[in-house]
Structure 1
Amino acid sequence: MTETIRPPSTSSNRYLRDNFAPVREELTATDLPVIGRLPDHLDGRYLRIGPNPLDDPGDQHHWFLGEGMVHGVRLRDGRAEWYRNRWVRSAAVADALGEPHRGTPGERDFAANTNVLEHHGRTLALIEAGSPPYELTHELDTVGPCDFDGTLPSSFGQPGYAAHPHRDPHTGELHALSYSWTRGNRVTYSVLGNDGRIRRSVDVEVHGSPMMHDFALTENHVVILDLPVTFDIATATADVPRVVRPAVRGVLNRVIGRNPLPEPVIARIARGGGAASLPYRWNPDYPARIGIMARDDDSASVRWFEIPPCYVFHTLNAYDDGDSVVVDVVRHSRMFATVLNGPDEGPAVLTRFTLDLRTGRAHETGIDQRSQEFPRHDERFTGQRHRYGWAIGFDDGVPGDTVLRHDLETGSTQSRRLGAGLEASEFCFVPNPDGTQEGDGVVMGYVHDRAEGRSQLRLLDAATLEDVAAVQLPGRVPAGFHGNWAPEGTDLADV
């Protein structure tokens, strides 16, 4: 089946136009055309997710709030066996499509749209800020909400899970940092074991109620980003009736950044809202800092390091270096200060923070000043000293056609332009099965061809950024968020 190519949207919202515009068909295609040669050892699925509004959300729509749609390609024996795209069937999506609910949706129910990965034989669609993950079948149909065999509380007042877990390459366990405005000034560090159950959970007190999209992991520490994008009461209550709005805001002022209210009270407040915009804003009065907590200790071990105001969506990697912790991130100077429907507040650059555990001071070093996002590394080196990283170049706040390869040892960056009229998405690294050297493998991700109105799965040699293969897809994969390689017969696919 091939998607009907529709004319571009005329919405004034850039996140509803061009390749941000949602697709309306769910497709299944088999025996996909391939340009070049797919490596014979690739046996698995490339999965990626992103927002894809089911209905017209209006020009005030925030990009992060669209219902999630997963796009997947199955590779085996040098062939591209299938492509599928499917909405995540939350209760609201199932209702809109006239279908029965999948599983048992709870109070915090949303069609996860931020990350998709494989763990303990489960394909999981993830989102942050309190909503639970959704489990999918191998063919990307929705099974239902996942509570990790009853070990993940996901009602109001609970942390839910995270969009950005990181896998320990030695143990295979997933480490995560979860947040929700309903919990006041507490975030939760958790470890998801290889049995699919959360085996460790630690509450950490932060300064207020920040948005924490990502964190970092070293062999000995958890790296916590407490930065000045925080829950905004005025935005969250914009749709509350004017007559009760002062009372609701007064209640929220007593919970945000302090101790949480009782769960039933929070639930009533949250259900009475319904703001169309993301309720997080740049907060110039909020201190920017990075916390370091020993992985096997409690929250009393956290040490905080002040840094200049900035925001970080994504870390590249982190590692312990004697008496310091080194954290590489993509640094935004601010976020959601003037542009309120998506992340477009100027260039984001690759930056290193070195946190000196002896002096308690942080040192900031610029690595690459090109605007970029979606940094990835060789996940076999998560938490260890890394040499290489890959990212996507951005032009005027949107993904461009450039793939970047950073050599952090030499301080050099290689840039590959994919071609005029092409738009790249996040590329993830997939190692060669017999390779042991860092960066020995391919990077892969979806690339949109604006002229054709369709996309392809593009594979590049990770060392040279030269073409390896391209899988031609039957339709368009809109600009989205995170993708991962899910190999068959193993749980070693990382995030």
Structure 2
Amino acid sequence: MTDTTFPPAEKSAAKAPLRAPFSADVGNSYLIGPYGPVLEEVTAFDLPVTGEVPAGLVGRFVRNGPNPIEVSDPANHHWFLGEGMVHGVYLRSGKAEWYRNRFVRSRLVCDRLGAPYPAGKPRTNVDVVNTHIQSFGGRTLALVESGPPAMALTHELETIGYEDFAGTLDGAFAAHPHLDPLTGEWHAVTYDLGVKSELRHVVIGTDGKVNRSVAIPVSDGPMVHDFAMTQRYILIFDLPVVWNDAAAARGHLFPYQWSETHPARVGLLPRKGAAEDVIWIDVPPCYVFHTANAYDAADGTVVVDLVEFSSMFNTALNGPGEGPPVLSRWVLDPGSASIAKTALSRRPQEFPRIDERLTGQKHRYIYGAGIQTDRGSAMCFDTETGLELAHDFGPGRFGSECVFVPKSDTAKEGEGWVMTYVWNAPTNTSDLVIIDAQDFAGPPKAVVKLPVRVPFGFHGSWIAD
């Protein structure tokens, strides 16, 4: 249907009405406009649709991001801080049945909403979970890095409790675990803000328990947001954004900053290897938030496609803002411990994703979020031909991370749907946009109109029923 009139939306009742935790003239762009928090939890049914929701899509398109409920120092607030809020649209039978947004119930959120605390116990005094949401073993899990535990959620995105994988996880988890589609194992590279001397490679088995945890010695406490893996190696990015003691002493709540003295390197950890088996390869100074994928080449090298920045948190300290993000290919040679770098695209973009049935194997297509000043776009890069396509959202419309969903279990790579949330600046609302990957630059297959804005945030997933 094309009608944009919504039935009445349900809103949660709070202990007291939530108010913006800062004034409108705060001077921090990560607290206002499209980044500003949404303070009401909304449930809306029978969402208006322009176009046609593919009948084969049965499940939830969900996303997580920071949504501050309390800000102690607005001028120094960092985008990566703030309570988690998950957003989701449920699709079934060619319809958009519901939209929900829910705070991930940290103890602070529970205090503000007058709600009970999550089940279980947090492992640290910080339990903000604001970065990703994935499904593993039939469970919906909100995720974050640096120490706080993952949170288990219901199908309707309500918080259940802290997740410790049946008591087998004895440390931090990660915001970017990757599922190996060939083994069914869930891999993560983790770090804990209280431990500056090591990273860990953690593997969750198909039984939902940790079956491998390998400590990798490092120095300075590097921030490792993502990693990549092949069938032979786990790729560990030890890059020059590290814990800054002086910034922490000054009261910065996010004291990770650029270091001119921390060497940039990538480690190749054999899948079953120990810390001493890591092959370290020096790379030019840069920072990488996100990898698209990696795979083993026939000549013994390792190919990884990623987005790189020339520096990070060096002069811009409230969020990413230094240099254009470049989609690049790195070829790592474990024999000579050398790297060859190629820029795949010069169009600024971030949040690269692939058809995740190919994680750790050779891929062809990379989907990303284009970054422009007056409009946004979804991007598709063909690594075989070098052809790059853009799906233009139009003036004043800005997209976020794209997620590829195959049309069927047997569909070929590239045969599927690309889904993303798009913010409409003129109306300050958002849409769920579904693109046919085989007609990428063409009109969207469907646009689901949401009753509220989805703030610019981080990561999400398609979770099929």
TM-score (norm 1): 0.87
Residue aligning to 2:117? 101
Equivalent residue runs for 1:61-460 within 5 Å: 61-108=77-124, 109-153=126-170, 158=171, 160-239=172-251, 275=252, 277-321=253-297, 322-395=299-372, 400-433=375-408, 435-460=410-435
Gaps of 5+ in 1: 240-274, 489-495
Distance in 2 (alpha carbons) for counterparts of 1:224 and 1:475: 38
Residue aligning to 1:18? 33
Equivalent residue runs for 1:49-60 within 5 Å: 49-57=64-72, 58-60=74-76
Distance in 2 (alpha carbons) for counterparts of 1:309 and 1:453: 38
Residues 93 and 111 in structure 1, CA contact (< 8 A), matched pair in contact too:
no
Q: Deviations over 1:316-368 (max 9, x none)?
A: 10000131001111000000000101011120101111111221111111111
Structure 1 residue 3 displacement after superposition? 9.5
Distance in 1 (alpha carbons) for counterparts of 2:117 and 2:197: 33
Residue aligning to 1:47? 62
Distance in 1 (alpha carbons) for counterparts of 2:122 and 2:333: 43
1:325–1:235 CA distance, 2 compared to 1 (3 A) = same
The aligned amino acid for 1:295 is R
Residues 331 and 350 in structure 1, CA contact (< 8 A), matched pair in contact too:
yes
The aligned amino acid for 1:218 is T
Structure 1 residue 434 displacement after superposition? 5.1
Distance in 1 (alpha carbons) for counterparts of 2:375 and 2:265: 31
Distance in 2 (alpha carbons) for counterparts of 1:11 and 1:178: 34
Residue aligning to 2:16? none
Distance in 1 (alpha carbons) for counterparts of 2:293 and 2:409: 23
The aligned amino acid for 2:145 is E
Q: Does 1:470 align with 2:451?
A: no
Structure 1 residue 2 displacement after superposition? 4.8
Q: Deviations over 1:455-474 (max 9, x none)?
A: 11100011322311011111
SS in structure 2 of the partner of residue 145 of structure 1: strand
Residues 375 and 393 in structure 2, CA contact (< 8 A), matched pair in contact too:
no
Q: Deviations over 1:421-473 (max 9, x none)?
A: 10101010000115431111001010011111111110001132231101111
Which structure has more relative contact order (CA 8 Å, sep 6+)? It is: 1
The aligned amino acid for 1:99 is A
Residues 31 and 80 in structure 1, CA contact (< 8 A), matched pair in contact too:
yes
The aligned amino acid for 1:288 is A
SS in structure 2 of the partner of residue 110 of structure 1: coil
Distance in 1 (alpha carbons) for counterparts of 2:317 and 2:280: 29
1:2–1:14 CA distance, 2 compared to 1 (3 A) = farther
The aligned amino acid for 2:257 is R
The aligned amino acid for 2:304 is V
The aligned amino acid for 2:426 is A
Residues 375 and 394 in structure 2, CA contact (< 8 A), matched pair in contact too:
no
Q: Deviations over 1:116-170 (max 9, x none)?
A: 01111211000000111011111111111110110112xxxx3x10000011011
Residues 34 and 456 in structure 2, CA contact (< 8 A), matched pair in contact too:
yes
Gaps of 5+ in 2: 1-7, 12-19
SS in structure 2 of the partner of residue 384 of structure 1: coil
Structure 1 residue 209 displacement after superposition? 1.1
The aligned amino acid for 1:432 is K
State the number of aligned residues: 443
Structure 1 residue 89 displacement after superposition? 0.5
Residue aligning to 1:487? 464
Residues 216 and 224 in structure 1, CA contact (< 8 A), matched pair in contact too:
yes
1:400–1:173 CA distance, 2 compared to 1 (3 A) = farther
The aligned amino acid for 2:136 is H
Distance in 1 (alpha carbons) for counterparts of 2:447 and 2:184: 30
SS in structure 1 of the partner of residue 37 of structure 2: coil
Residue aligning to 2:14? none
Residue in structure 1 matching 2:49, options 19, 34, 48: 34
Residues 207 and 226 in structure 1, CA contact (< 8 A), matched pair in contact too:
no
The aligned amino acid for 1:437 is K
Residues 210 and 226 in structure 1, CA contact (< 8 A), matched pair in contact too:
yes
1:207–1:364 CA distance, 2 compared to 1 (3 A) = farther
Distance in 2 (alpha carbons) for counterparts of 1:427 and 1:419: 16
Residues 419 and 432 in structure 2, CA contact (< 8 A), matched pair in contact too:
yes
Aligned residues with identical type, % of pairs: 47
1:346–1:395 CA distance, 2 compared to 1 (3 A) = farther
1:380–1:107 CA distance, 2 compared to 1 (3 A) = closer
Structure 1 residue 207 displacement after superposition? 3.6
Residue aligning to 1:493? none
Residue aligning to 2:15? none
The aligned amino acid for 1:127 is V
